[in-house]
Amino acid sequence: MLRVMTFLTLASLASLAQAQDGAFVLGSDVYQAGRLVTLNAEGRDDLFVAGERLIVSGDATGSGHLAGRRVEMRGALGGDLYAAGQTVRAEGAVAGDATLAAQEVTVTGAIAGDLRIFGDDLILTGPVSGSLLATGAFLRFQGTVEGDAAIAANTIEWGPDARVSGRLILFEDDPGSLQVPEWVIPAERIDRREMEGFDKDFGKPSKYMPVTGRDLWRGFVVSAIVLTAVAAAAAALAPQTMARLRRTVLGRPGRSLLAGFVTMSALTGAGILLLLTLIGALLTPLAILAAVAAGYAGYVVGAYALGVAALSALGRHDPENLRDRAIAAAVGAVAVGLIAMVPFFGWLAVLLLSLAGAGACALVLFRPRFFVSDAA
């Protein structure tokens, strides 16, 4: 979920800057968002790309994080691949694992690790060196899997070159209804289970795993790194907009907090009202997604504003260049992470900061009429 919110935040802030395909490069990593994004990732490390249509070519050494309506990953990756959209195509080789979710998923490239695909129509033609987890209505299986495979699908079309070297677990409404040719896998290595068992095996953890102090600090470090990257990318893609947002948070904290409360209440309330109308029930997920995206955008803006305020208290000037903005983003991310670890009061403070950030977005971008007189 954090990856999805990262994509949504980058895409929305890029549109605020009126840049259809603005890119931000941090070290060897690339952050890019827009309506149509065509990226040559040759020689780059990690990729964070969001938009309506994505076309990524060239070989990258790190991992790929892609979200859009139509996603095409044509180049190779030296790490893992995470992609979500309406249609997702993975044509290049992936040295790590691949996790893909879309209405239509097509995998033609070689996957050196494990492959997880979720959707409606699934097509697998490339080789998988690890294991396979596939869930969908229709699966066209024409590739090879060196490890085990777990499949939950209503219909499976086996190609002449399809092979499973390990064990095949089939989840079926009526065990035995799906035919598996002998050339794919011998019958003695097939484990047929009822579809109801899929949630039991994959939908829930097998046992409770206590959270250790090491887990907390690992989560803190990962969260701080991601938040720093998102805030720095947003400040680079839309510097003037981010400056106005953080000035609003710091200059009018009370008004920003009130506007954030109203904004989040309106978005979540809209989801409930749409559900009650029955006709608009299909739009309820969009309203909920908009509320979550607004909350995370507020979280990013609030953290960035907190970082600027902390540096200002230490006698530093307001951010004037990319380096200053990146430092402010890092300071804010670390500060928010430390605050969040305070028992009880920490999450409340982060919630208020996120509401203030969301309120600043509403005040600056939409200028609601009942706030205009004082916010102008």
What is the C-alpha to C-alpha distance for residues 145 and 147, in angstroms, rounded to an integer? 6
Q: Give pLDDT, residue 214.
A: 60
Residue 371 lies in a domain: no
Whether residue 134 sits in one domain with residue 77: yes
Strand pairing partners for 134? 117, 151
What is the C-alpha to C-alpha distance for residues 46 and 78, in angstroms, rounded to an integer? 9
Residue 121 lies in a domain: yes
Q: Give pLDDT, residue 1.
A: 45
Q: What domain count does the chain have?
A: 2
CB 14 within 8 A of CB 30: no
Whether residue 287 sits in one domain with residue 186: no
Q: What is the pLDDT of residues 174-220, one digit of tens each?
A: 888 889 999 999 999 999 888 766 655 555 444 444 555 566 666 77
What is the C-alpha to C-alpha distance for residues 315 and 242, in angstroms, rounded to an integer? 21
Terminal alpha carbon distance of the chain: 36
CB 152 within 8 A of CB 134: yes
Q: Give pLDDT, residue 326.
A: 85
Whether residue 115 sits in one domain with residue 51: yes
Sign of the CA dihedral with 190 first, then 198, 288, and 347 last: negative
Q: What is the pLDDT of residues 12-36, one digit of tens each?
A: 444 443 333 456 777 888 887 767 8
Q: Give pLDDT, residue 291.
A: 85
Domain encompassing residue 118: 1-194
- What values do phi and psi take at 36, rounded to 5? -120, 115
| Weakly modelled stretches of the chain, pLDDT under 50 | 1-21, 204-209, 373-376
Residue 201 lies in a domain: no
Whether residue 249 sits in one domain with residue 159: no
Task: Tokens 């209503």: give the residue.
Answer: 154
Whether residue 217 sits in one domain with residue 345: yes
Structure tokens at 169: 């677990």
Whether residue 190 sits in one domain with residue 226: no
